[in-house]
Structure 1
Amino acid sequence: MTLVRNISILALLAFLWQAGPACGERVPPAPLRLTLEQAIRRGIDTNLALITAVTRVAEAEGSHERQLAKYLPHARLEPSFTYQSINIRALGINFAGSPSIVGPFTTWDFRAYADQSIIDLQAYHQIKASGKDKQARVQDFRDVRNQVIREVAGQYLQVQSLLAQAEAAQSRVATSETLEKLARDQHDVGVATGVDVLRAQVQLANDRQSLMVAQNAVKQSVMMLARTIGLSPGTPLVLAEPLAYKALEAPQIEEAVTDALKQRADYRSLSLQHDSLEEQLKASRARYYPKLTLSANYGGNGPTLGDLQQTGLVKVDLQFTIFDLDREGERKELQSRLQRVEAQIADERRGIEQDVRGALLNLESSGDQVKVAQEGLTLAERELTMAEDRFRHGVADNIEVVNAQDALARAQQNRILALTGYADAKIALARALGDTEMTYRSFLGIQ
């Protein structure tokens, strides 16, 4: 039994040793199936510019809280112990027979202090300015978010387009292989010449090379998309949504421009920055207005802890600024910034109108191109079928076949480019209108 058991163990070890390399082979991960919605969500969660925009919103919130704190009560506790001697003659006290040094003596003091601004227009306008600035940072965040959606959707569309081109190239290779075999068969029965066979082989080689170029372009585009949405560039991806035509009824230009001016986050951010600067100018002018402050303290003091006497103070301060040359420099600085923002707002308004009009023009043109390209593809497919029949029956050589194959390749490329342009125009229109996150789904037909 021992011998049998030892032989069995040796046999098992030998099997494991032989199977070890096969078992140790790394199984490639399954491709990640990715919809456009999933790609955009991943891009939003991992984009660096968006993360930076979030921190700027938090920073603006902190600045607003600091400004608000200037108009809120300030309170503090100050327990203290003093051990000192005083030269009373240095204070102007000089009586006959009195010593010049008094002390040493001790003083204990426990006191609470509180201050409250009652009237401070400068602080009030600074609070309003910081609030507008915080709202502007929120709009900047929305704008960056819309940019990320536009970027991810554009890259997803690019992969869709390249995949369609690769599929078309694969179809052309299959057709060329069939036609190359037909040429050899026709040559064997004496219907075709050696030139016909060679011509078909050249066409097949060209189509295979085009396929390899298209497949490499797909891999490069997938790698870029994976990087953009926060995945490892080597992550295998499979797009769940192929390139397809989905018609969109375009809005009226004037209505679209008006809506864009209301919704575009970049335009609203500039408007809020303008409002913030106006509040800062008001705060600068308020530096010469009177300020009214209430101060109070209450506590106990005495020479020993057992002899503390309660004391307190209530004080109202009215402060006037008589001369402050810094205010003039601040005013010039703020007015210059205000003029700059006003010029940016005017330019942004024209840019938004240009974006909307351009997107609508592209949408209309690319929609027409899709229809024409589809008609051209149908005609090219018929042409190839007819040329193949003529060659098969010995009516003509395969020059017509090769020419028809080239025409079909151009028609396929034209259709893919038209579909890509139409989808991109819809994404661009969603971005131009401003509410990208809410409109891109309906524009692209996403449920």
Structure 2
Amino acid sequence: MTKPGHTLLTALMAAGLLSACSLAPTLQTPAAPVAATWPEASAADSAANGKAAADTGWRDYFADVRLQQLIATALEHNRDLRTAALRMEEARAQYDIQSADRLPNVNASVADTRAKTPAFLTSSGHSTIGKRYDAGLSMPAFELDFFGRVKSLNDAALAAYLATDEARQAAQIGLVADVAKAYYTERAYAEQYALAQQSFETRQRTYDLTRQRANVGASSLLDLRTNETLMETARAAALTLARQRAQAENALTLLVGQPPAPAPAATPANAAGNAGAGGSASGSALASDAQIDAMSALPAGLPSDLLTRRPDIRAAEQRLKSANANIGAARAAFFPRVSLTAAVGSSSPTLGGLFGSGSGSWSFAPQLVLPIFDAGRNRANLNLSEVRKNLAVADYEKTIQVAFREVADALAARSYLGDQVTAQRAIQDAQADRLRLLELRFANGVASSLDVLDAQRELFASQQSLVQARLLRTTSAIDLYRALGGGLK
């Protein structure tokens, strides 16, 4: 091997060895700025035994077959998730581009050069046309990374890519939870609409009967107008719920990414006599109490567990690493930058002699650039990198705090919403029994029709409140699953 070849090889080996150096500060990950345990109100819940949310796939968590189909479709067609995946691919490409700077670029070239020299510039007094043929390999301006500038930029790009990948996983978990919440919200509106429609039909029959009685003088005009008011109120409530259900279906369609299959008709499962204390009756739009109990039985563990369970926290940590690596690149800009440009090949005035004996050529041009005056640019870049790292630290700590709050809220909801649903069901059962007794008293002429109508109105309100309480308990179980980092598979 020629001496220039030895020189070039030695330089490249030195560059490879020295590229391990870095001026980036040692990263000290901030301590989690939250309590070591969950709030006292949720201490019993956090000690629950069972499979962790991060180890529970969404197919195991959500038992509803139609919901599973909707989630699978959303994971394939949701545009926000598709955008997150493309962002990850974009970050991967940027990392590949940046990592390419750590290795020299080698180009092959073939050139045919012709140049005319005027007669007054030649010794013979005649113009000449010179020809030259060149072929070889060249390495343009390869930086020897003595101070780790290129390595720091590469580390920053890698951390940015990993942060984007974690963000994609967080988006996927969020999508699973959002689809489930939208699905149960639509089902709750469907159940409420069925109750409202049932109430409207009952009140319409009562109104028709009262009108007939008023026509023969058996009922007063006040009774007629009161019944008409209650009937129209029920109709307005049914129309409102129909609109809300349609809007909930539109929200679900947007999340799924394409029109879902038509939902089955809902049965008012919590109407009087249709649901017992143990759960919803067959045909219920929402999950049963037993299903919600199973969904809520997730061990919370310790707040520190969130650092590895939640992709959004891991993404914030990677962004912090990227910002820290950029400080190393900014520091390296203060030091000399050494680059190598080299070429080896063959040159000849004739094409036939291009690879003949004695036609070899080479060039070797090391360059050292030392910053002397840059009007404070390098200092400003370093300050900017340090500020961005501080911002990344604040973002990391805030992400942990938000995660802690979300889990604590979900645990608090799990502690109280079960009892709230039980109390609301007891109210509904009491209202249903009260209506039954008043209807008996009215049939015997003891109670007035206004008492019966008032009982019907209060029963309808308690039924609607029970659906809302059960929906709230369902969505809180979904929020707990999401907050604990579940839902990837």
- 1:257 counterpart residue number: 303
Amino acid of the residue matched to residue 83 of structure 2? T
Please state which structure has a larger fraction of its residues in helix: 1
What residue number does 1:286 align with? 332
Structure-2 residue corresponding to 1:125: 152
SS, match of residue 70 in structure 1 = helix
Matching residue of 2:186: 159
Question: TM-score, normalization: structure 2?
Answer: 0.71
Q: Distance in 2 between matches of 1:266 and 1:100?
A: 79
Separation in 1, partners of 2:312, 2:136: 52
Task: Determine which structure has more spread, i.e. the larger CA radius of gyration.
Answer: 1
- For 2:151, the aligned partner's letter is Y
Which amino acid in the other structure matches residue 427 of structure 2? G
Q: 2:101 aligns with which of 63, 66, 70?
A: 70
Query: SS of 2:133's equivalent?
Result: strand
Change (3 A) 1:82 1:366: same
SS where residue 136 of structure 2 aligns? Answer: strand
Question: Per the alignment, in what secondary structure is the counterpart of residue 242 of structure 1?
Answer: coil
- Structure 1 position 323 matched with structure 2 position 366: no
Q: Which amino acid is 2:343 matched to?
A: N
The answer to which structure, 1 or 2, has the higher relative contact order (CA under 8 A, 6+ apart) is 2
Greater displacement, 269-278 / 101-110: 101-110
Is 1:267 paired with 2:292?
Answer: no
TM-aligned CA distance change 1:300 to 1:169, over 3 Å: same
Mapped partners of 2:265, 2:183: distance in 1? 8
Report the Cα offset of residue 57 of structure 1: 1.2
The superposition leaves residues 7-57 of structure 1 with CA deviations (integer Å, 9 ceiling, x where unpaired) of xxxxxxxxxxxxxxxxxxxxxxxxxx9822222333333333323222221
Q: Does structure 1 residue 429 correspond to structure 2 residue 480?
A: yes
Alignment of 1:77-88 (within 5 A): 77-84=108-115
Structure 1 match to 2:177: 150
Q: Name the SS for the 2:447 alignment partner.
A: coil
Deviation at 1:206, TM superposition (A): 3.0
Task: Note the alpha carbon deviations across 1:134-161, whole angstroms, 9 max, x for none.
Answer: 0011112222223333332232222111
Q: Give the root-mean-square deviation of aligned CA atoms.
A: 3.6
Q: Cα–Cα, structure 1 residues 113 and 194, in superposed 2: closer, same or farther, change >3 Å? A: closer
User: How far 1:182 moved relative to its partner?
Assistant: 6.6
Amino acid paired to 1:106: K
Tell me the TM-score normalised to structure 1 length.
0.77
Pairwise CA distance, 1:193? 6.4
User: Relative to 1, partners in 2 of residues 1:304 and 1:333: Cα closer, same or farther, differing over 3 Å?
Assistant: same
Q: Which sections of structure 2, spanning at least 5 residues, go unmatched?
A: 1-63, 267-283
Tell whether the 8 Å contact from 1:290 to 1:318 is kept in structure 2 after alignment: no
Could you tell me how far 1:88 is from its partner in structure 2?
A: 13
Whole-Å separation in 2 of the counterparts to 1:100 and 1:282: 62
For 2:51, the equivalent position in structure 1 comes to none
SS in 2 for 1:406: helix
- 1:424–1:351 Cα change, 3 Å: same
**SS across alignment from 2:132:** strand
Partner residue in 1 for 2:285: 242
| 1:408 shift after superposition | 0.3
Q: Which moved more, 1:283-292 or 1:399-408?
A: 283-292
**SS class of match (2:106):** strand
Q: Which moved more, 1:102-111 or 1:236-245?
A: 236-245
**Aligned in 2, Cα 1:405/1:306: closer, same or farther, shift over 3 Å?**
same
Q: Is residue 52 from structure 1 mapped to residue 83 from structure 2 by the alignment? A: yes
Percent identical pairs in the alignment equals: 22
Q: Which runs of 5+ in 1 are unaligned?
A: 1-32, 91-96, 439-447
Aligned residue type for 2:285:
P
Tell me the CA shift for residue 296 of structure 1: 4.5
The one-letter amino acid of 1:265's match is: P
Distance 1:145 1:130 in 2: 23
Give the SS at the match of 1:74.
Answer: coil
Aligned in 2, Cα 1:273/1:400: closer, same or farther, shift over 3 Å? same
CA distance in 1, matches of 2:240, 2:169: 38
Aligned pair partner of 1:385 in 429, 436, 460: 436
Other structure's SS at 1:78 match: strand
Q: How many residues align?
A: 398
- Residue in structure 1 matched with residue 350 of structure 2 by the alignment: 304
| Segment drifting more, 338-347 vs 384-393 | 338-347
- Partners of 2:159 and 2:318 within 8 A in 1: yes
